[in-house]
Each structure stands twice: as structure tokens, then as C-alpha cells.
Amino acid sequence: MRGQDSAGNRYRERSGGLSFCGCGAGFGTSDLRAGARFITVEAMLLVMIENIKKSLAAYWGYKDFLPLQEEAMRCIAGGRDSVVVLPTGGGKSLCFQAPAVTMEGLAVVVSPLISLMKDQVDALGECGVPAGRIDSSLSFEEQGDVLAGIHNKKLKLVYLSPERLVTEDFLAVLRKVRLSFVAVDEAHCVSMWGHDFRPEYRQLGLLKKLFPGVTIGAYTATATEQVRSDIAEQLSLDEPEMLIGSFDRANLVYKVRPKGSIVRQVCEVLDRHKGESGIIYCIRRKDVDSMCDELASKGYSVAPYHAGMENGDRKKNQDLFINEKVDTIVATIAFGMGIDKSNVRYVVHTGMPKSLEHYQQESGRAGRDGLEAECCMFHSDGDYGTWKFLMKDMEPEAQEIALIKLSRMYSYCTGGICRHKAILRYFGQDLGKGNCEACDVCLGELGRIDDALVTAQKILSCILRLDERFGGDYTASVLTGSREKRILENGHDALSTYGLLSDHSKDAVHNWIDQLVGQDYIEKAGEYNVLKVTPKGRGVLSGRETPRLLKPTKKPAKVSKAATDSWEGVDEGLFEALRRLRKSIAEDRGVPAFVVFGDAALRDMARRRPSTPAGFLEVKGVGQTKSKQYGKIIIAAIKDYCSANSLKTDVNLPCMS
């Protein structure tokens, strides 16, 4: 409904917008008396946002909003459709969970995977928020309990899949209740241009016809401008607000290396994160199995996950990982979208992903709690060929799009510029500073070679001498003076460029070739990826262009700023003691450890060392429900540790938002 107040201010009222309730937290709206009929929309929204802010503190233990959260919540509260793009860890889910608590009616959340629904509903339950889910993993009786909660108005949120939402049976249920709004999570699944398109999400366009007055919010962590527009169109959103956060995950430390002895390289990462949770991605199922077997034989705590396994085995291994029975899951990209685990401290790619959207999504499963996490990618020339082969049966238009994205991914791996800056440029954003302090380039783990121009000229000259008929491996062999039979038979040992880079390893030369491809001085052509010199590359040969060629440095790596900041003032011994206690509590309650408290909350406890309930409530991530549930046992553990180690309790710190 549209109208005007007495001052002439226009407002728009929709089902679910401009309505209030206390929802058990005591946050009513007595200041909005029934007689106050005319009140500006802005004034009403201010009251609603204040109530939402109180609910954030009461249920989730957060004292303030993260960037764009308030704007996203204002859209829901004010009845305006929205497309919200926030990076993983940016508090995307709270954008619809917190308003749902303070608004009248039921919020419907569309989610693509059972595991994601379960994690979010479990986490809401731990915070004291009445939420439920309906999916095939629940028994008939359990589904009946959720339906009863809907009818009895005891639930504030219900999670379900797009397929179930549009069934006539469930639509009949929704027609009998007041809907506060609909939230479409993982909304990139709506778009064919998205990296994880799911046709069933297209059905959600019916919602505006079936419930014309209901507000819809679409939420995703990764979406280009084209995907965002497609989401709005396919969902038939009404003049939606587009809220686009920064795609930068400043807490993630990106590292990219050529693939060598991959098991050894992976082990080096695992050894830096002993006892912590992580994900290892492989391109093919057989790579998952072989990597998992090798790591297990070396004593690492690992489990496999891929689409070729039995459903029961996949679920068992996922549960082992979620509940911290194993440290590391080794998986194909079939694993991950439904994982809401906040304390993943590392993600390793043993091969190049097929697009930067996929890499942003997969690496983004690390550090969801905002703390530092390491993202390592090991790539090879063969990864490019593998993906091209896997894309061969795609429709022509889709294949063309996929190959463009693959080339951009390859450029990221080999381009040699700040990793954060490169990702942001892809999504049309700018880092805004010269040094990200959180990637191998900016931390000084890679250095430029002194004679980049001369080295590049030797490589490009060799490609031309080979008549642009061979790939990177063969070219690197010629440049390093290989005596392979094929080179001798072809007479290429007689070329003027033969052995010009024999002082370097073949792997190093091959990597420089890849870097030149990534900087558009060389292109790969045809089915066999033969190398061809581009017009830009000919500029190098004439001395008009100078490329960047990088090599690993021997100096020790710097520590990222995110890691330094997140550990400041934290007693690491107390943090580890609290981790053990958290695991014990979680096992007793039958929930994942991160659902009890995230690592960020534990570090803040180990920083503040509270000895009273009031002090415990000052910890970031501690709300009233969790304080009542766990405050006594955790405060006792903190006191015991501080007493045994002669540490001061109740460290007076500014309130942390």
C-alpha cells in the first residue's frame, strides 16, 4: 500500500514491512502508539533498526553492524526488494536473520543444500532464535513438528529448498500464515551467468505472482554485474536496491605457486596448521583419492569427498569434518557450498579452478569468522588443458563464456600482481591501496628477476624459431638445452635459442612462459595449446614492452596484518584451553564446535579474560542465550587458567563491535 503522512512524505507499506514485535527479547514498540497513525517512514525505520540492533546484541552478541548490513536490513524492514552481495564472512545471513526476529510473521529462507540449512538452523537455535527447516533428511514426525511451529506462530524463520517452496502443498501452508519476507540465499544460483547455476532456482520467479505484497531479498557472496542484473530479472524484483559490498577478503592470505611435488607442497601447508580445520580441493575424483591416501599414510587426519562416493559415505565424512573428528577434507568442488563452518583456517587448491568466481567462492570458505586464513593454489599448464577437455561437450555459447573465464583465471595465476588487487579488478572494484599485506606478492615471498626483458626476449624468440607449433613444456625443454629424443629428432638442438636458459631449471622457465601468457605476451591456441607470440609480445622483442617475471625469494615471509591484529593481546595457551573446552561442550550437545562459539569469540575471551557474567557479555559473539548456557563453565575455566598462570582477569578493553 502506498500513501502519504501529514507532512507529505511518501511511504510504501508491504506485507512484512513496517511491522514490529518483541519476539521474546522484550524489544517492543510502545513508543508507536495506536493513535500515532501518521509517522514518517524514516522514523519508523529508525525504531525498527534500533530494535534489530538490540536483537543483534541479545541473540548474537554483536554490538554493531558490519558494512552494508544496516542498509540491507533497512530494505527488509521498509518493504523494499534488494540484491545484496557481501563477501563470505561479511555477515550476509544476519542481513535477513536479524530482521526476522523483530518483525511480525514468518520469514521464508530459500537455500540450496540440506547441510547449509541444518548448520544455519542449528546455529540459530544455539542463539535462542526459533527457526526450523523442512527437507528430506527429516522424518515425517520432525517435518510435522516444523509445520506445527509455523501454524502456531512459534517460528520466526523456516529454511527450505526452492523445489519444496513451489510445491502446491507448501504454498497452501504459506497462504495461511503472515509472511514477513522471503530471503533467497546463494542467489547466484538463479543466473545462467553465475558460477553455480541451478535451474530449479528459476522457479522462484513465481513468488511475486503468488505473494505480490511480500518483500524479497536476494543474497550472495559472489556475483558480477551481469549476474546481479539477471538475479533481479529472474526473481521479478520490484525496483530492487542493489547493495554491493567489497569483494575483498582482507583476512585471507593468497599464495600461488607452480605445481611441483604436490604432496610435499600440500604437506608444508598442513604442517603450518596442525590441529586446525582445512579443505584441499582437487580437480578430479581420482586425484582426491590418491591425495587422501598419501596424506593418510603420512599420518595426517584427512577424509575424502567427491560425487563418485556413496551418499552415506559422503555424509559421514562431511560430518566428521564439521564436528572436528578429522582436520582436513580432501574434495572436488562438489564439496563446500553447504558448509557454514566458520573456523576453516586454510584452503588448498591442488589445481587451478575454472574461473575466478569459483576461486572466490572456494577459497572464501576459509576465514568466515573474520580471522586470518591461508589460501594456497598450486597450478600447472596441464590444469588449463584439463578444464578445456572437460568443457568440450558444453553448448557453444556456454563454452565460449567458460573459456573466457578460464583464461582470466589463468592470468590470475601467472600475472604476478597483488592477488587481492587482481580479484577485485575482475569484479570491477579497486583495492584502494598499493600493498594488501596479505598475499605472496605483497608479503615479499616472490621477487622480480633482474633481467626480465632479456629473459622474455629469449623465450619469445624461441617460440618464433619453433614456428609457433609447440606448447610450453616443449619450448621450456629447448630453452634449457634438453637432450630429449624428440628435440634431437626435430633438429631443434641446432636452433640459435637452444640452451639459452640452461642456467635455470625447466620448471622455472616453464613458469616464466606461463607468466608471459598471463600478461598477454603469449597466447595458447588450438586443441594442443601451442604457443603464439601476440602483438604485445612483439613489443617485448623490440624493447618497447618490459614484462614482470617473478621467482620465489629466500628471505623469510612476513606475517600478514590480519594475523598480527587478530592475535594482539590474546593468551594463546588460554585460547587452546578454551578450544578444548568448546569441543567437549559441542560433543555433549551434539552440535559442531563452531556453533557453540567461533574462534573469534574464543580469542576475545582469551584477550579479555572475563571473570563475571557482565564481563562475559562484553565478548564479541556472546549473546544472552549463550551467556546463560555456557557462561558459568567458561568463566570458571578462565579463572582457573589465569590463577594457574598468574594472569590478570578482566582486562579492560574498549567494546569491540
567-644 maps to CATH 3.40.720.10: no
Q: Which of 81, 77, 123 minimizes the C-alpha distance to 100?
A: 77
Q: Which of 308, 320, 340 minimizes the C-alpha distance to 88?
A: 340
CA separation for the pair 481, 503 (Å, rounded): 9
Q: List pLDDT tens digits, range 398-451.
A: 888 888 889 889 889 887 789 999 999 888 888 888 789 999 989 988 888 889
What's the gap between Cα 606 and its chain centre?
Answer: 26
What mean pLDDT do residues 499-513 have? Answer: 92
What mean pLDDT do residues 355-383 have? Answer: 91
What mean pLDDT do residues 621-642 have? Answer: 94
CA separation for the pair 72, 80 (Å, rounded): 10
Please provide residue 268's backbone torsions phi and psi, each rounded to the nearest 5 degrees: -60, -40
According to DSSP, the residues that pair with 403 across neighbouring strands are none
pLDDT of 657 > 80? The answer is no
Do residues 405 and 354 touch, judged by C-beta distance below 8 A? yes
C-alpha cell of residue 523: 597466447
Least confident of 38-47, 341-350, 356-365: 38-47
Domain map (residue ranges) of the chain: 2-244, 252-445, 449-552, 567-644
Q: What does the DSSP assignment read for 409-421?
A: HHHHHHS-S-HHH
What's the gap between Cα 137 and its chain centre?
Answer: 25
CB contact set of 151 (below 8 Å; sequence gap of 6+): 173, 176, 177
Class of domain 252-445 as given by CATH: alpha beta
Residue 5: predicted pLDDT: 36
On average, the pLDDT of the chain sits at 87
Topology, domain 449-552: Arc Repressor Mutant, subunit A (1.10.10)
Residue 410: predicted pLDDT: 87
Topology, domain 2-244: Rossmann fold (3.40.50)
pTM: 0.75
Least confident of 16-25, 80-89, 91-100, 362-371: 16-25
Residue 376: predicted pLDDT: 97
SS3 category, 115: helix
What mean pLDDT do residues 341-345 have? Answer: 90
CB contact set of 196 (below 8 Å; sequence gap of 6+): 186, 188, 189, 337, 361
Give residue 39's pLDDT band: very low, low, confident or very high (50, 70, 90): low
Name the DSSP letter for residue 60: I
pLDDT of 80 > 80? The answer is yes
Q: Do domains 2-244 and 252-445 have the same CATH topology?
A: yes
CA separation for the pair 335, 111 (Å, rounded): 16
Do residues 43 and 13 touch, judged by C-beta distance below 8 A? no
Q: List pLDDT tens digits, range 517-571.
A: 878 899 988 877 899 999 999 999 999 989 988 887 766 567 777 888 889 999 9
Helix (H) or strand (E) holding 345: strand 344-349
- By CB atoms closer than 10 A (0-12, 13-18, 19+), residue 203 is middle
Give residue 335's pLDDT band: very low, low, confident or very high (50, 70, 90): confident
Q: List pLDDT tens digits, range 568-611.
A: 999 999 999 999 999 999 999 888 898 899 999 999 999 999 99
One-letter amino acid for residue 375 of the chain: C
CA separation for the pair 183, 82 (Å, rounded): 10
The better pLDDT of the pair 489, 434 is held by 489
pLDDT of 37 > 80? The answer is no
Q: What does the DSSP assignment read for 268-321?
A: HHHHHTTT-EEEEE-SSHHHHHHHHHHHHHTT--EEEE-TTS-HHHHHHHHHHH
Name the DSSP letter for residue 59: I
Do residues 119 and 176 touch, judged by C-beta distance below 8 A? no
How many CA atoms within 13 Å lie on the side-chain side of 51? 29
The Cα-based distances of 637 to 576, 600, 640 in angstroms read: 12, 18, 5
Residue 554: predicted pLDDT: 67
Q: Look at the chain and count its residues.
A: 657
Please provide residue 493's backbone torsions phi and psi, each rounded to the nearest 5 degrees: -75, -10
Q: List pLDDT tens digits, range 131-185.
A: 999 998 899 999 999 999 999 999 999 999 998 998 899 999 999 999 999 999 9
Q: List pLDDT tens digits, range 256-295.
A: 998 989 999 999 999 999 999 999 999 999 999 999 999 9
Question: Helix axis angle, 285-297 relative to 262-272, nearest 10°?
Answer: 60
What mean pLDDT do residues 69-83 have? Answer: 94
CA separation for the pair 549, 545 (Å, rounded): 13
Name the DSSP letter for residue 147: H
pLDDT of 193 > 80? The answer is no
Percent of the chain with pLDDT over 70: 91
Q: Which of 449, 226, 249 minimizes the C-alpha distance to 361?
A: 249
